[in-house]
């Protein structure tokens, strides 16, 4: 989330602070991603017409909630299509979809979670085709009990099946030209309570998709990680108006396709940051102005709250005093991964002459 004024920018504040903002400020909001231990239904979507994703995740660093708010530029249009609540300006659309697995039957050849995921993504693709925002920048996916096994398969792998089924059904690429994304778990063993919750950003300008040379692309993972590979890129660089926005996908201690340092949270944090550095190096080949670790805003998903102090210390060592991070308790897609980090930044677009366009 960036602090500068741009066609797409974001800010972090508590849900209570959001509700106290003046109407003019709220009218510029495309949507919000809200995290709290209780995941109470906020007034944001109900009373203000702002698409709001609410996820039951405890904030570990400070406060009882965090709200990641994305702002648009110019007049905004809001609407609902099926289960999707959305808002858009002339360039960017933000949407949220929440689906309960209980509305899908388990007796078919697809699990309820797989069906819910496919339905959600099909609705997203259909909406974007109708409104003509064809390019997906970023997905945020939150899945109850992501590491639990049911119907003979881990739930994260069921999610990947449903996601890819929807991509293929709509004729979308499943390799190369795919959006940045994360997929995290919540619920911590409460028998998959809570719906599948997805937020997304899309637009009318094609992003530049970025991979990490230290890692096999997620969409090319071998079958040992499930019958369908995860469908996301390591990052997306989006050029909007006078700015470039970088979305770094959920990143962890993986080199090639293997998890490293399975029992060492400090080493995993260090390896994760090495991967983010590698992604930045690739992004900087395409960006008009360099991104570095200090320019990023981080969201850090921590499996075990007791690891927080060590993770924060290592991140401070890697980034320095300018570290901007929010810490949430979450389950990561592989059992042996102790944390996952995503990041966002924005810069003014600079022309070849070195002047801001």
At 161-215, the pLDDT tens digits run 999 999 999 999 999 999 999 999 997 544 456 799 999 999 999 999 999 999 9
Q: What is the pLDDT of residues 286-327, one digit of tens each?
A: 999 999 999 999 999 999 999 999 999 999 999 999 999 999
Catalytic-role residue among 244, 271, 340, 342: 340
pLDDT tens track for 260-283: 999 999 999 999 999 999 999 999
Contacts of 149 (CB under 8 A, 6+ apart): 155
The three-class DSSP label of residue 10 is: strand
Q: State the pLDDT at residue 190.
A: 47
Decide if 144 contacts 186 (C-beta within 8 A): yes
**pLDDT for residue 315:** 98
pLDDT band at 12 (very low <50, low <70, confident <90, very high): confident
Cβ neighbours around 113 below 10 Å, total = 28
Q: What is the band of 60 on the pLDDT scale with cuts at 50, 70, 90?
A: very high
For residue 340, indicate whether it is catalytic.
yes
3-class SS string, 65-100: EEEEEEECCCCCEEEEECCEEEEECCCEEEEEEEEC
Does domain 9-348 match CATH 3.30.1330.40? yes
Give, rounded to a whole angstrom, the gap between the first and last alpha carbons of the chain: 22
Model confidence at 242: pLDDT above 90 = no
């Amino acid at each position: 989330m960036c602090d500068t004024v741009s066609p797409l920018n974001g800010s972090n504040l508590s849900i209570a602070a959001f509700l106290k903002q003046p109407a003019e400020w709220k009218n510029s909001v495309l949507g919000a991603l809200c995290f709290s231990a209780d995941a109470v239904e906020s007034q944001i979507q109900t009373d203000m017409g702002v698409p709001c994703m609410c996820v039951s995740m405890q904030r570990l660093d400070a406060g009882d909630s965090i709200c990641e708010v994305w702002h648009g530029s110019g007049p905004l249009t809001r609407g609902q299509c099926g289960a999707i609540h959305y808002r858009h300006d002339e360039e960017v659309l933000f949407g949220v979809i929440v689906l309960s697995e209980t509305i899908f039957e388990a007796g078919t050849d697809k699990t309820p979670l797989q069906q819910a995921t496919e339905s959600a993504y099909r609705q997203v693709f259909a909406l974007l085709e109708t409104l003509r925002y064809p390019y997906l920048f970023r997905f945020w996916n939150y899945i109850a009990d992501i590491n639990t096994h049911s119907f003979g398969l881990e739930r994260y792998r069921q999610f990947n099946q449903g996601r890819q089924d929807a991509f293929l059904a709509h004729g979308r690429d499943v390799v190369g030209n795919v959006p940045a994304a994360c997929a995290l778990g919540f619920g911590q063993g409460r028998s998959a309570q809570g719906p599948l919750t997805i937020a997304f950003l899309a637009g009318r300008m094609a992003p530049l998709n970025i991979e990490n040379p230290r890692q096999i692309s997620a969409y090319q993972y071998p079958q040992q990680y499930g019958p369908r590979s995860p469908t996301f890129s390591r990052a997306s660089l989006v050029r909007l108006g006078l700015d470039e926005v970088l979305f770094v996908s959920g990143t962890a201690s993986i080199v090639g396709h293997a998890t490293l340092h399975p029992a060492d949270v400090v080493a995993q944090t260090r390896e994760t940051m090495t991967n983010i550095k590698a992604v930045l190096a690739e992004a900087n080949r395409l960006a008009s102005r360099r991104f570095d670790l200090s320019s990023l805003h981080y969201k850090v998903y921590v499996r075990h709250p007791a690891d927080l102090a060590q993770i924060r210390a290592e991140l401070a060592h890697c980034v320095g005093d300018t570290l901007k991070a929010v810490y949430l308790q979450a389950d990561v897609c592989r059992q042996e991964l102790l944390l996952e980090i995503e990041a966002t930044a924005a810069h003014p677009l600079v022309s070849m002459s070195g002047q801001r366009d």
